[in-house]
Amino acid sequence: MLLALRSVIVSSAVYQDALDRARADARVVAHFGDAIEPGFLPVGGIETRSAGGGSGRAAFVIQLEGSTGAGMLHVEAHRWTGLWIYRELTFVADGVPGPIDLVSPGTPVSARAPATP
């Protein structure tokens, strides 16, 4: 059961996009060092429905680890007519002052954000 849940979350566009954005953000990279790897099992879930063009919601936390640190990526998004929209994508870790916002609320998952300097 846990492996099936993991597979659904890890294969989702929301999970992949969130991880890509964290790996591209200079502030997150500075905390981790050269390699950022996700933990095995995200905590939370994803619900989707195909009625009405596709709706749903995602709320989960990804544990991230690197050569010089660890932290958590908080993901909240909703799906409307097939398009995922972030409500929150933040990184938190010990030694990092406050959460780091990786996107503004309302950012589509499919829109690629440039890496933050």
- Kindly report, residue by residue over 68-117, the tens digit of the pLDDT: 889 999 999 999 888 899 999 999 998 888 899 999 999 999 755 444 44
What is 20-38 written as a DSSP string?
HHHHH-HHHHHHH-S-EEE
Share of the chain above pLDDT 90, in %: 53
pLDDT level of residue 22 (50, 70, 90 thresholds) = very high
Tokens describing residue 90: 């933040």
Q: What is the mean pLDDT of residues 4-19?
A: 86
pLDDT score, position 57: 94
Which amino acid type is present at position 77?
A
pLDDT level of residue 35 (50, 70, 90 thresholds) = confident
> Is residue 53's pLDDT more than 90?
no
Residues 6+ apart with CB under 8 A from 79: 48, 54, 55, 56, 57, 58, 85
